[in-house]
Chains A and B, each alone.
Chain A
Amino acid sequence: MKCREAQSWLLTLRTDQSLPGAVQQHLGLCARCRELSARLTRLDESVRQLPLPPGNPAARAGLWDRIEDSTLRQPIRPRRPSRWLLWRQAALTVAAAAAILFAIGVLVGALGWFTSPDPPQLAKQELDAAGGETALVVRLAKYDAQLGKTTEVAQQLDVLGHVAGDLKDEALRRVRQGTATDVPLLSELYGQVVREGIARRAVLLPQEKKPALTTTLVKQLRDTATEVRTLARQSLPVVQDMLQPLTRAAREAANLVESGRTPAGAAPPDVPGPRPLVATLVRQGLRLSAETDPVRRADLCSELASVLAPNVVLLSESGTSGQASELGTCMTELLNQGVAENLKHVQGNNLTAERQAEMERVRRHLTEAADVLKRNLSRASPEAKVELQTAIDAFGLGLDRVAEKIKDKTGEHPTPSPRRGTEKGDDTNGPSSGKQSFRFPDLPSEKHSGNGRERLALWTARHSHRSRATTLKWWVGDWLEDYVTTRLTAVKASHHFRVVGLVGWVERSATHLASNQGGLLCAPPTLPPRPRPTIANRSNIF
């Protein structure tokens, strides 16, 4: 061994640490390196013995005063980890969008969302306690629904970040619990998300957002690598091997994002055949993030809904603390956010034959999902029936919304699903033709008839605040969006008056809703009187 090599060992190891044999051998032969070693020992010892000036006791006493005075005399409550990135702020700049959000807030608030003991979303800890894998499935399904809705790269990266984070957390949780058999799968999926999802999407970020967001991404990825490596060190070698792909993927993705490169080669092709549900959800999420065509995106979401349907049934039978209905709500979100929202963006109403076929595929997937739910309800146990019925009701409302969108685009006249038991049969075979009427399969529900709003009113009266909020958000969003669009087109001169008018209507409606939950939803909204715009009151508004 040469002096240079020995010195690099000496400079990085503690002098009381056991040096490698070769270094010790070298020290026995080389007086210069021995001297260096001795100096280093003296240096470290001297630094350690540097006296600490006596402190001011008032500083420590002040700490207790602050603790005493702080509001933390209240019990400390665990908080959910903060959101990974706050992408959405930038998107909320349009006054009409703000009005819609406000309106939804008022309406949902009137229904008791904010006062409800139920949290607005199922807390991660709650899910974890109930069963890690199911919890992960529910979360991934929600993320897929979000990916189904957005094509904005920054938002996609936000969601993909959550996906990657949850996969990593689940892998580490299993290592800590000593149930690491699925860790290789989770590591592999994590790698796919960060390489094929995050690294590829980050390149497409708009220039103005790129510097800030890539810095955050790189930091997150490197933190993950450090966190995983730290845990791996404390684990058995076999577990270290399982975690190694995860660390490597995080590092590689960080380097790719930092250098603005994409992974070499194309994304790995889909392997046909059965795969774990978690893998399907991740793969479908990645496909959604890469797909821009609205019909194909709607198709991917509907396919996912059909994959989730059997799992809703199985979960309802296993009776795991409301997770079947939670997954049912995810399916509804896929329908609302993924299918209906994408169909809304399909250009034109006269679709080509190819487009018609794609729409038909969407409908077929949803029909399959509805069929699965329907067929299993009659044979479900009494306990499972309650859960399954909740999921079916939520799903039925999503189907209504999709049916409306398909009708808009194809000119067909669908029979909404919850109008059940009145007609028999469906036409799920082959592409729809012309103005032919189609319907989703009948879903068993309480006997009632009426339009979507009436059914929604009944449904909201029967179900939890959380479920109400999820569904109301989309129904009310649609109505308000239509309303705002109409009003904005009519009176372009004064945006704020339209907003003010809308807010006024929402406030009146919310009062109405609070006193009679079904009433508002059954009655068509009356347009607010249009105030006369003046310069003076315009400046007061914003």
Chain B
Amino acid sequence: VIEPDDSEWVRKARAGDRAAFAALVDRYWDRLRRWLLSLTEREHLAEDLTQEAFFRAWTALPRLQAEITFRVWLFRIAKNLFLDQRRGPRGVEPEALPREVGGKDAGPLSELLDREGQEKLQGALAQLPAHYRAAYLLWTGEELPYFQIAQILEISEETARWRVCKARQFLLRRLRSYLDVQKS
């Protein structure tokens, strides 16, 4: 996977160029929201955290170190925000995951199967412990290498590898029937 080069936009954004920062927002907004949605399982919260992460990134851009990429840095901010809100007051029931997931153009039967499968998949992901889920989704969704996952989650590379491995094992066990249906 070739990582997009943000360096020019980052350089301009550091100098206060909002257009450059807007380009970064366009590039990473949905990716970050997807990851946060998987972690929080609440749409509104994911959106709030996404907005907060970008806002903090804007204010802290001058502190971005050269040896870390913008994407890794942004996701690390988001991870910290997610952890912070988890430490906050509890009592708010998580919303159910969106039932009306978007489908591809397909017939009614395949659409139904797709929807059922997606629900199963989301259910299994929701059962994954959050720290495994975070690592696995960065690995599979963002296609980040282990060392960048380690940077985002502030863990060792070995731990990142271990978490991805365990997450995949867990999902394989839970989704065996679904994956076999897919095969057929």
Contacts and interface: CB of A to CB of B under 8 A. Distances in A.
Q: Does A pair with B?
A: yes
Interface of A: 8, 11-12, 14, 36, 38-40, 42-44, 46-48, 50-56, 59-60, 62-63, 66-67, 70, 72, 75-79, 81, 172, 176, 222-223, 226-227, 229-231, 233
Interface string B50-77: 1100110011011100111000000000
B67 A79 contact: no
B179 A42 contact: yes
A67 B18 contact: yes
Contacts of B156: 222, 226
A46 B136 CA distance: 13
22 contacts: A8-B165, A11-B164, A11-B165, A14-B143, A46-B182, A47-B171, A50-B118, A51-B103, A52-B34, A52-B37, A55-B30, A56-B47, A60-B25, A60-B29, A63-B25, A63-B54, A66-B55, A67-B58, A70-B59, A76-B62, A227-B67, A233-B147
A251 B44 CA distance: 40
Contacts of A233: 147
Interface string B72-111: 0000000000000000000000000010111100000000
Contacts of B179: 39, 42-43, 46
Interface string B113-155: 0000110011001000000000011011101000100110010
A14 B183 CA distance: 19
A229 B151 CA distance: 11
Contacts of B175: 43
B168 interface: yes
B183 A42 contact: yes
Nearest to A10: B168
A113 to B, nearest CB: 25
A172 B67 CA distance: 10
B33 A230 contact: no
5 pairs of A and B residues whose beta carbons are closest in the complex: A59-B47, A51-B102, A78-B62, A11-B165, A53-B98
A301 to B, nearest CB: 34
A402 B165 CA distance: 64
Given A43-B175, A63-B25, A226-B147, 20 more contacts: A11-B164, A11-B165, A11-B169, A12-B165, A38-B183, A42-B183, A43-B171, A43-B172, A46-B179, A48-B140, A48-B141, A52-B37, A53-B102, A56-B44, A60-B25, A63-B55, A67-B58, A72-B58, A79-B62, A222-B156
Most buried by A among B37, B140, B180: B140
A149 B34 CA distance: 53
B151 A226 contact: yes
Contacts of A78: 62-63
Contact of B172 (A39, A59, A222, A226): A39
A62 B58 CA distance: 14
Nearest to B160: A12
A56 B42 CA distance: 13
B43 to A, nearest CB: 6
Nearest to B139: A14
Contacts of A47: 121, 125, 136-137, 140-141, 171
A72 B150 CA distance: 31
A38 B179 CA distance: 9
B51 A53 contact: no
Given A53-B98, A226-B156, A76 B30 contact: no
Given A78-B62, A230-B151, A52 B50 contact: no
B100 to A, nearest CB: 8
A60 B21 CA distance: 13
Contacts of A67: 18, 55, 58
Contacts of B54: 63
Nearest to B171: A43
Contacts of A230: 67-68, 147, 151
B51 A81 contact: no
B6 interface: no
B162 to A, nearest CB: 9
Contacts of A77: 62
B102 A59 contact: no
A53 B43 contact: yes
A51 B182 CA distance: 17
A53 B37 CA distance: 9
Given A50-B121, A67-B18, A81 B67 contact: no
A222 B157 CA distance: 11
A29 to B, nearest CB: 21
